[in-house]
Every structure is written in structure tokens, then in C-alpha cells.
Structure 1
């Protein structure tokens, strides 16, 4: 595995691969890699000849009171894991390479509507930071395919919309959320949880599953389900940020045209913010309300 710290050096290496007919898959990360990240690399290997992984803790997507300075950085271990998975290139830029004139004067990309609610409402500016760094990395790597986890469902939606709107010739692949045996979605931030909090954390996924099952059984009072879920989370010791049942394509309220439903949730456990989601596919041959759990 070769490591590059500048856009020019990485692009030169990738262009050499492309001239020989190789296809490129890209997995952008912020490091502190876990099994979920490695599954993305595994999927990338299935879709291209060359896999490029980036590690960059992007300051533009962190708010003023968020955990940028404390975000876990485990570069040596990350390199070992990527080498073992067979990634060919690692892009490891410094902030000065990405934002040479500083973040304030850097061009930014905003994806309206999809970025506005849910995590976007709780973390103003977050998705502008995400869209900007992903677009810049896409321009540096120029991949044929890029792979993202479905745990960050809203982020994946924002990236897909950006790629579509800006006519980027990149196939975006979403990979199912990797989970611990008790259902907790794998996340770099799980390392912040103490023993007691770690035992409580799987409640988020359990409540999501219970809500999905209720909808699949025909219960369509979504506001009541959302309220009940928030109460359940708060009773368990999680502080609910949002719990929303919405259209998976628009991330807006469900309508008669909805084909897939997503239930999005975020909650704090101590100082750690957890996010998760589950989806349901609408059966087009049945009456509305007949949903099959996905």
C-alpha cells in the first residue's frame, strides 16, 4: 500500500493506473477504522481494480462545540488494517493541503433541502462541510465508484444528490450498517462510551426495530410512534435528539407516493452522539400501510 499526502502525487499515481485500463474505487474516511470501514473497502474491491482510501478528519464538518480535538486518531493501526484488506493507495493529506487558504475563504458546496432537517438541523453547517470535502476528494481521486456506509443515511443521501446535481460520473454505493452482536451500529464514537453506557446504547437500534415492526403491521400514526420512541429512549437513559419516520428518497414526511420509508434517529448518551436508521420497502401491489421490513 502506497501513501500520499498531496493531491498532485496521488493523482499522478492514479492516472498511471487509469492509463493501463484500471478502474478506481474510493473510500473516504476520518480514520479510527473499525469493521464497518473495512467492509467498505471489501465492497470497493469487488467493484474496481484499484482501491483508494483517504483518512482526513475534516474540520469543516465539526461545529464549535463538537469533538474535533478529541476525535480518535489511530493512524498506525489504521494503516495495518488497510494493508491487510488489500487497499492499494492511502491518501493522508494535512489540513493545509485541503484548505490551503483556510476554511473561511474556501469554496463551499451546499446541498439544499436534504441537508436541512434531522442531523442538519442539529448540526448547522455539518453537511456543507461533508459535501465540500467529499466533492474535493472526488476531484482529486476521480474515482469510477465511491463507497459509503448506510449508517449515515442522510449523509449518503446528500452525497448522492450532489453527485447527481453536479453531473459527477461516479457510481455511489451504499453498504449496509455493520453492527455489534447486540445491534449497536459500529462507530468510531462508540469508543467514548463507558461500560454502563455501552450496555444502554443498543436500545437505540431496538427502538428503531420496534417502530419498524409496528409500521410493517399496519400502524400508521407516525407522530404517535415517534413520540413513543422518544419516550422509550429517554427512559433508557438516552437523550433523544430526533426520531423521525420519513420518505427515504426525500427525507420529508411520508406521502402516498413514498416507495421506501426510513426511520432516522439520533440520541446522546453522556457526551456521545449516536445515530442509526432502519428502512422499510413499500409493497406497490398492496394497499398503503402494507409494508415489508427490510
Structure 2
């Protein structure tokens, strides 16, 4: 079998009001070079390399093996050379990139010949919601919906030159815990407000309208309920009122915070984050919008 090289971006889901519907690909990457070997082996480097290099319960490999097993195919053993830039457990789509990697590996080394739609459907089914996987695979800002067990997507904004800043607290937050904080029902006014904001947010990305983001990234469905578990959120949300900041939102389920700014203001916004949090060593990543997954 020919080797396979993958480059999969980090993602930020929801973007404020677009709960389980919107995702944004970010230029922080999980890069994998895979070759057939006599046994499973991972050489990991980069962020959280020790955790990424563990074979047992590795999400990439378990997905790869399970996809092929469901097709009645015994998985070839692989040697993975892996470099990771995506924060784990921080609301940056690390599980989506790993799941998509496993499906892409299965498609290649199992000769499945799946279409892009089949790959997307399988990875989204395993993730449980489409927002992160769609953005990771397709790039830019994606709008996703599940209809008759298939994912319907649209993309825009991949060429926007806005700066993306991720403020990362010291500890992670499990998505399951973050979801458990949400109520089962919402007032109609909150649901309507989020529908309006989501529509405006899609327009902002599709038309390249940074002036809309401050209003469009307002949320009433999940961020208010996650404040306590994501202490950076109440500190940084008020920065959306500063002219240098285009928008602020919880990144995915948290606890990281995504801020959007013009490229020329990225350093000033970084300094602003440190000043507001009172944490001069807070990790802040500056990145940009990614065009999506690469396979060769």
C-alpha cells in the first residue's frame, strides 16, 4: 500500500449562537504520515506528544480498526508519524480531527473507495454532531445539518484574513460535562434570539462583514450555562465591546475562548486579554482560518 499523509485542522464550533450547527477551521494542525508496518506504532511530536503517542485506546487507531471491522475487513497494521498542534480537551476539535483521521486511514488502507460524503457522514456519526467534523474536513466556516442520516453542509469564509486568537486556560473540560450543564428546554425568546444571531453570523462570514460579528456572536443557549465551568468566559466576553475586537465566543464546549480580530490588531488584543485576566503567562494562540483537510 502507498503511504498516506494527512493534515487536519483544529476547529472551533458554535461560534456563539450556532450551537451544533456552525464550525470554523483553524490553522493549527494534526499532521500524520502513515505507512503499513508489522505492528501498530506511533512516533508522536508536538503538543501533548506523550498522550498522542499512546497506542492503547488511541482514538485515531480505534476508529481506523472499527471502521474496517464494520466492513468485514481486517485492518492492516500501521506506523504513524504524528505531529500535533491542536490543544486536547480545550474545545478546539481534537476529537473530530482524530475521528476524521481514523476514517480517512480506513478508506485508504482498506480500499473502501468511499466518496467525500460517505467519509463525512461516517465521521460525523461517530462524533455525534456534525459541526467540528465538517469544518475540519471542508475548511472555512461550515454550516451543517443532519437530514435522513446524512450531513448537509455549506461553507464560506475560507479566504477571510481575520485573525483568530485562542485563550487557553490551564485545565481542560470534557464535552460530556459541558453538555450536562445545559437545560433541557429554553424560553422561546432565547431560541428566537439565537436563530436571528446565527443567520446574521452566516451572513458575516459569507459577505466578509466584520462589522456584523459583534452582534452576530451573541448567544443565549449554551454560554450562559457554562460560565462557571469556563471561568475565562465572563472575563473575556466584555472585550467584544472594544473596537479592536470583532467578536468573542466560547470555543466549542470550552473552556478555551475564541476572539476574532483584524490582523493588524492581533497583538494589541493579545495584550488586552492578558491585562483583563491578570495572567501574564496565559497561553494565547494566534492563528487564522484554514482551508480544511489535506490528503496526499
TM superposition score normalised by structure 1: 0.28
> TM-score, normalized by length of structure 2?
0.28
The one of the two structures with greater contact order (alpha-carbon pairs below 8 A, sep at least 6) is 2
* Greater share of strand: 2
